[in-house]
Amino acid sequence: MSEMTADVLVIGGGTAGFGAAVAAGRQDLDVVLLEAGSKVGGVMAFCPGMPWGAAYPDDTSIGGLMEELALRLYDMTPLMAEKRPSTLENFGAEIIYDHDVAITTMFDMLQEAGVRVHLGGIAHEPIMIGNTIGKVQFHDRHGPHEITAKIVIDCSGDGDISAKAGVPIELGDAKGSMMGVTLSFMMENADWDQVFAGDDPYFTQYAAKGIAQRRLHEDLAKLYLMKGFHKDTVFCNSVVIRNVDGTDPQAVSRATQEGRRRAVQMATFLRSDIPGFAKAHMTHLGPTVGVRETRKLQVEKITQKTGVRFTSTSPLKGKRKLSSNFGKKLKVSTMNLPYNSEDCTEARGRYWLRTGLC
């Protein structure tokens, strides 16, 4: 087993891990970002082209690294992102962007911050020193490795390492249910003028017909079809598979294959039944289903040097308030919480870093 060291080990290269690693790297710390997959982005990479929504709750930017990333994309020629109102109900403004350029820019920002990115590495075991994670064991194609780090930040989305380190967790929501997982895809070469000519944002009449004729899965009563970043592309995030344990790799694999079948079926339906899709084709099918809300970590509070503070009145109940050094207060309707540790694992829940605060 090889030995490595770092000041900061970030586990998981989703939006949370990206933010944590860049922020730490900019403080001249020696940072390793360990990512199980082949690119950074996490759910953003699993759902290519998915608009960024919660970066702009109530249409108010709260800054942070996701904002910085968006600004870089706005500044490119031709521009690679833009902000627009959502066409769906109950959604605020969202940012649409070129997926590949956005991921490339995330890699650039990591590199500029001096972060050592280690792709294809799966952390699997924390080695505790007292109540602190002193080392983490991980595997890559060369075999097992051990990394000693002063600070370990778990951004695995599912709290894999935090759970093994003994952080109290709950699976799913207050009733124990996990949100359905979704598989997204794009339709290219659609005709926006025709597709979005109607006044039903969810295409419900078409969907009802498809379901009645058993050409669409019954869960597809509402079709989430949104204009993509590039002209005549349409982002489709409708295919949902329910009752999947997102922490079980085999369950996720089965759900992904089921999602693929339903996505192909839906693309076929769009082409044949919805005006504007006749010449379109499917692209950017997610490599895996997007998983939300698996483990919830219980915590009392965490304070960051950067001034971000999380407070909660009582763990695992109600809404939390989040205050930041940007002087704004936001209500966050999630119960994912970091746990109270001074200097070891800073647990990051799924939703926090979409706010771009790290």
For residue 177, give every residue at least 6 positions away whose Cβ sits within 8 Å of its Cβ, in sequence order, or none: none
# residues near ligand FAD by CB under 6 A: 32
What track of x and - describes contact with ligand FAD for positions 219 through 238 (by CB under 6 A)? ------------------x-
Q: Are strands 329-332 and 346-347 parallel, antiparallel or unpaired?
A: unpaired
* Residue closer to ligand FAD (CB basis): 17 or 276: 17
Q: Are 168 and 298 in contact (CB under 8 A)?
A: yes
Task: Tell me whether the omega of the peptide bond preceding residue 275 falls within 30 degrees of 0, making it cis.
Answer: no
Alpha-helix residue ranges (DSSP H) falling in 166-248: 192-195, 204-212
Q: How far is the CB of 218 from ligand FAD (least distance, A)?
A: 20
Backbone angles phi, psi at 258, to 5 degrees: -65, -40
State yes or no: residue 50 binds ligand FAD (CB under 6 A).
yes
User: What does the H/E/C string look like for 28-54?
Assistant: CCCEEEEECCCCCECHHHHCCCCCECC
List the one residue from 122, 171, 221, 252 that touches ligand FAD (CB under 6 A).
Answer: 122
Given the complex with ligand FAD, which of 270 and 347 has the nearer CB atom?
A: 347
Site map for ligand FAD, 265-294, x if CB under 6 A? -------------------------x-x--
Among 30, 53, 87, 119, binds ligand FAD (CB under 6 A): 53
Q: Judged by CB, which is closer to ligand FAD: 56, or 276?
A: 56
CA distances from 328 to 60, 201, 289, 338 (A): 10, 32, 33, 20
Contact between 47 and ligand FAD by CB under 6 A: the answer reads yes
**Complex with ligand FAD: residue 16 or 167, whichever CB lies closer:** 16
Q: Tell me if 102 sits within 8 A of 229, measured CB to CB.
A: no
Please tell me whether residue 123 binds ligand FAD under the rule CB under 6 A.
Answer: yes
Contact 332, 318 (CB under 8 A): no
Contacts with ligand FAD by CB under 6 A lie at 11-17, 34-37, 42-43, 47, 50, 53-54, 122-123, 155-157, 160, 182, 237, 290, 292, 348, 350-351, 353-354
